[in-house]
A and B are shown apart, each in its own frame.
Chain A
Amino acid sequence: MHKDPSYYIQGVLDNNRLMLARTITLVESILPSHQEIAKHVINELLPYTGKAVRLGITGVPGAGKSTFIESFGTTLTTLGHKVAVLAIDPSSTRSGGSILGDKTRMERLAVNDMAFIRPSPSGGSLGGVARKTRETMLVCEAAGFDVIIVETVGVGQSETTVASMVDFFLVLQIAGAGDELQGIKKGVLEVADAIVVNKADGDNINRAKLAKKQYETALHLVTPSSPNWAPPVMTCSALEEKGLMDVWTTVNSHKKIMTASGELEKKRQDQAMSWMWFLVNEGLERWFYQHAEIQKLLPNIKKRVEEGKMAPTRAADELVAILGKDLLL
């Protein structure tokens, strides 16, 4: 790994694919020394970021996310947009390894010079995904991509993590056999800016229309996050490339409305702020757990709390006070 941040910065700003790819690898590295360089790089690239449309896409496995992005992304490139796709794939909890197969489902987009697709292993921790993806997004913006699509599998908390770093969060669904709402979490409905029912093709069209109705009803029960935007439900067929332009129009009108009302800027500020606080908490936590004295005292304190010999509140006070002592010195 190169030590000089300017090596990466210049490469990214030149939109050199090789350098862009290597910078993302740097950002994703778990080594503290790499993260140190990455911080410099991101900081220098920051003035060149912020102009892209940031789009998050989630959906249950089988909803056709990759096929949707393949068709949607290709459509956007024909409109002259430069599209970066960041796909997060789950790592195995047992081996730590992962299978990154997204590009097999994005065959055309993968060879399209207007597009850049980078699949990344989730690598276990959610904080890890959040940090990496957020920074990768900035790197891609600095390289000149004006639409950034972040794709995630709808499992665990990954959707809300992704929703907290994008401008527009799109939930992809398919029409199934019966109760559509079973498959969707309330938390996801709350952060969705639009629901798109995919696979509205062939003998599935009527089912898709029915599902659309059901989601509309469900969305009425959720308080929208903005008074100016009621999340719409749409149908599309990524396979037959139908309804994709409607999705893009919706994303654009969302951007227009949110920009006019000042909410977009506010949203991004809030995101940056909550990201800072997340990092502060993470840093404090790391500091706490790595503290030599705490590590020494913790087992005994834990044991006393478990045995009921010490009140949890007092234990917490004592532990935090140890950190406080450091500060006084």
Chain B
Amino acid sequence: MATGYEQWVELATKQMKGKSPDTLNWKSPEGITVKPVYGEDDIKGLPTMGSFPGMAPYTRGPMATMYAGRPWTIRQYAGFSTAKASNEFYRKNLAAGQKGLSVAFSLSTHRGYDSDNPRVAGDIGKAGVAIDSIEDMKILFDGIPLDQMSVSMTMNGAVIPILAMWIGAAEESGVKQEELTGTIQNDILKEYLTRNTYIYPPEPSMRIISDIMAFCSKNMPKYNTISISGYHIMEAGADSVLQCAFTLADGVEYVRAAIKAGMDVDTFAPRLSFFFGVGMNFFMEIAMLRAARFLWHKLMQQFNPKKPQSSMLRTHVQTSGWSLTEQDPYNNVIRTTIEAMAAALGGTQSLHTNSFDEAVCLPTEFSARIARNTQIIIQEESQICRVADPLGGSYYIEWLTSKIVEGAEKIINEIEEMGGMAKAIASGMPKLRIEESAARRQARIDQGKDVIVGVNKYRLKDEKLDFEILEVPDSVRLEQIDRINHIKKTRDNAKCQACLEAIAKAAGGNGNLLEVAIEAAKARATVGEISDAMEKVFGRFVATTQCVSGAYSSEYSEASSDSAQIIEGLRKRTNDFLAKTGRRPRILVTKMGQDGHDRGIKVVASSYADLGFDVDISPMFQTPDEAAKMAIENDVHIVGASSLAAGHKTLVPELIQKLKEKGAAEIMVVAGGVIPPSDYQFLYDAGCKGIYGPGTPITESAGKVMDMLEEKYCK
């Protein structure tokens, strides 16, 4: 042992009145046992150590001088419902010191639907800007010099029409393809894992990615063709080891796809960029970013890259949206600050900080300003940018970095044995691991083991919402439809049809899809038309839903008898319900509209089943009519509708109405997810029986549901 360790143990034991300091060990969500102190012995011979920033294996950062030379790029992701409103917002931000643009798209656009498609009536302009044609794209970037401005676009499903329209809009404004800079997310694998905004099955989707890489490496050398995203994996509930492992495994799969498509590794690998999520587990997040860089370098060696940039992990980071709370929401400013610090100390290349109101609604101008200033203050007031990798050499950080490398490598090896990430995803393994992690986290929060201030501790008695809430007016949809009609009337239809046929032909053969789509975009084909042309050949992907069981209650069985009693109490109530009414309480959990974030319903489904409910899960992307049909045919007592993207005001009342029309008014409807408290009354008036916002413990919502069911069926 190094000098002084024994002495420390002695001191610590004394301070703890004779108890061993080992009792302070903490088991992290990743399963890593963290000790109360670290020293020289803990970092001896670690492979992750012994280099400088800018040097392989890049543990300490991809650039030699890091922020001492130039701070990270402040890149705020935003999209308002219309192209015009977003354009104004971008221009203001650029004037206020922002250096890059990041576009959020409407859910309908993500899934390749035009705004006039009846399936997406509740989704237009939700979560971002709706784009139907090149005309919308031109409005979006009006007055913004695309040869100078790097543009990042979060698009995965409808990536071909959107990228084509952006390129087309740039060309029509006189900017050449080779001048374009920026990033397209284009990470389809994680869509099948967590976010569900895919359109086609995995195989054609991977082909689309290869086509984009091939086109851009030839024509747009400064453009990042993919942003391999761990963010959504984390948001779905993955811990840091899982986020690191699955993201890098996705990356390896893309590299293989590109090489298989005949590309040389050094032509595209330097343009691969990553996107990680950073949450509240401060040192763990820092260590994860360092570990990811080390591992990526190691994983890339199998492809024999010649350029150093080919194995250098560069990343964008976003602070965790999931960590934000609806309760006492100004606390979110502090959470975001801590997460932003972790991202900076972990060495990110660009950063998005969330707005404090994002657990309630889409950001307003005010909340967006606070979010942006969070980063500016760190960069310009705190002096933390002066030294590259300031935590390098810290006993704890270095040890933790190597632990994450160890854990992630084990999972990556497991995936490799399954034949790579595409195969692993098909088997359902990564999804189940993430959901298990999410269910465990929910159980820890519900028991108060993981503290969330204002939610499960220090909760305010009376909460008043005193900030402005952004709402998307219905007129957005009507305006979009008008514009589509106008374009369809004024364009050269024969030319447009020919372009669409060329897309279908390329999809069935070997042509480059992006290349032909740019022509179609210029011929005023819509997002929906271009997507449909490919769908004819590729088909539309239908997800299979698996769900873990037992994870939620197992966190309780390890816990104090108090918490275990809550679970037992609820199980007794569901059993009594069975004895009194002849069957278990049966609930349908559904997610209507085009929002694909299904962490919430998965956690609810899995935990309710653990509590003794029979839980029906609906397919993704249902209309209220379809959800009502399913509720009736399965004859459930109650429907739980989850909404995370502002669709609740149309979708929930419509569901209640459809149940009534079909003669099943007695099926109760409750809602959960991101719903502003100011909308609660509206929903109650529409007939909604309960609303459970973010942070509601499962045991609490289940208890309230049981109250209602017992009142109705057991008396």
Contact = CB atoms under 8 A, between A and B. Distances in A.
A274 interface: no
A10 to B, nearest CB: 14
B609 A107 contact: no
A18 B544 contact: no
A101 B583 contact: no
Interface string B290-311: 0000000000000000000000
Interface in B549-587: 549-550, 553, 571, 574-575, 578, 581-584
A99 B634 contact: no
A31 B584 CA distance: 12
A226 to B, nearest CB: 35
Given A98-B614, A105-B545, A21 B635 contact: yes
A97 B613 contact: yes
B619 A34 contact: no
A131 to B, nearest CB: 13
B610 A25 contact: no
Given A100-B616, A103-B619, A116 B550 contact: no
Contact of A105 (B544, B583, B615): B544
Nearest to B553: A95
Nearest to A89: B614
Interface centre among A31, A67, A91, A107 (most CB of B within 10 A): A107
B609 A97 contact: yes
B195 interface: no
A121 B585 CA distance: 12
Contacts of A101: 545-547, 605, 616-617
Interface stretch (B96-104, B504-512, B625-633, B684-692): B625-633
A329 interface: no
A327 B339 CA distance: 78
Contacts of A118: 633-634
A99 B609 contact: yes
Contacts of A99: 547, 549, 605-606, 609, 615, 617
A100 B633 contact: no
Nearest to B667: A18
Nearest to A67: B544
A253 interface: no
Contacts of B553: 94-95
A82 to B, nearest CB: 14
Interface residues of A, number: 39
A67 B583 CA distance: 28
Given A92-B610, A116-B633, A97 B615 contact: yes
A66 B542 CA distance: 12
Contact of B633 (A17, A28, A70, A97): A17
A62 to B, nearest CB: 8
A111 B629 contact: yes
B429 to A, nearest CB: 12
Contact of B610 (A24, A30, A97, A107): A97
Contact of B544 (A28, A30, A66, A98): A66
Contacts of B626: 110-111
B663 interface: yes
A167 B581 CA distance: 34
B630 A92 contact: no
Contact of A107 (B542, B584, B606, B664): B542
Contacts of A108: 542
A21 B634 contact: yes
A105 B541 CA distance: 11
B85 to A, nearest CB: 34
Contacts of A92: 549-550, 609-610
B112 interface: no
A78 interface: no
B78 to A, nearest CB: 32
A29 B609 contact: no
A150 interface: no
B611 interface: yes
Contact of A97 (B582, B611, B629): B611
Contacts of A183: none
Nearest to A34: B582
Contacts of A25: 583, 635
A60 B553 CA distance: 27
A57 interface: no
Interface in A1-25: 1, 17-18, 20-22, 24-25
A28 B584 CA distance: 11
A18 B666 CA distance: 12
B605 to A, nearest CB: 6
B617 A100 contact: yes
A94 B583 CA distance: 16
A101 B664 CA distance: 22
B633 A96 contact: no
B583 A30 contact: yes
A104 interface: yes
B203 to A, nearest CB: 8
Given A94-B553, A101-B547, A18 B632 contact: yes
Interface string B580-618: 011110000000000000000000011011111111111
Contact of A104 (B545, B581, B608): B545
A234 interface: no
Contacts of A95: 553, 571, 574, 609-612
A107 B574 CA distance: 29
Interface string B517-557: 00000000000000000000000001111110110010000
Contacts of B369: none
A231 to B, nearest CB: 28
B74 interface: no
Contacts of B610: 92, 94-95, 97
Contacts of A232: none
B550 A94 contact: yes
A55 interface: no
A111 B542 CA distance: 14
Contacts of A243: none
Contact of A100 (B571, B606, B615, B619): B615
A108 B622 CA distance: 11
A100 B629 contact: no
Contacts of B575: 96
Contacts of A31: 581-582
Contacts of A110: 619, 626, 629-630
Contact of A96 (B546, B584, B618, B663): B584
B583 A28 contact: yes
A30 B578 contact: yes
Which of A103, A111, A121 has the most chain B CB atoms closer than 10 A to its own CB? A103
Contacts of A121: 584, 614
B598 to A, nearest CB: 10
Nearest to A33: B582
Nearest to B713: A1
B704 interface: no
A20 B632 CA distance: 10
B620 interface: yes
Interface string A57-87: 0000000001100100000000000000000
Given A107-B542, A107-B619, 9 more contacts: A17-B632, A31-B581, A95-B609, A96-B584, A98-B614, A101-B547, A103-B618, A104-B545, A108-B542
30 contacts: A17-B629, A21-B632, A21-B635, A24-B635, A25-B635, A29-B581, A29-B582, A30-B578, A34-B582, A92-B549, A94-B550, A95-B609, A95-B610, A95-B611, A96-B571, A97-B584, A97-B609, A97-B613, A98-B614, A98-B615, A99-B547, A99-B606, A100-B614, A100-B617, A103-B616, A103-B630, A104-B618, A111-B626, A116-B633, A121-B614
| 5 closest A-B pairs by CB | A29-B582, A104-B545, A31-B582, A97-B609, A21-B635
Interface of A: 1, 17-18, 20-22, 24-25, 28-31, 34, 66-67, 70, 91-92, 94-101, 103-105, 107-108, 110-111, 116-119, 121, 202
Interface of B: 203, 542-547, 549-550, 553, 571, 574-575, 578, 581-584, 605-606, 608-620, 626, 629-630, 632-635, 662-664
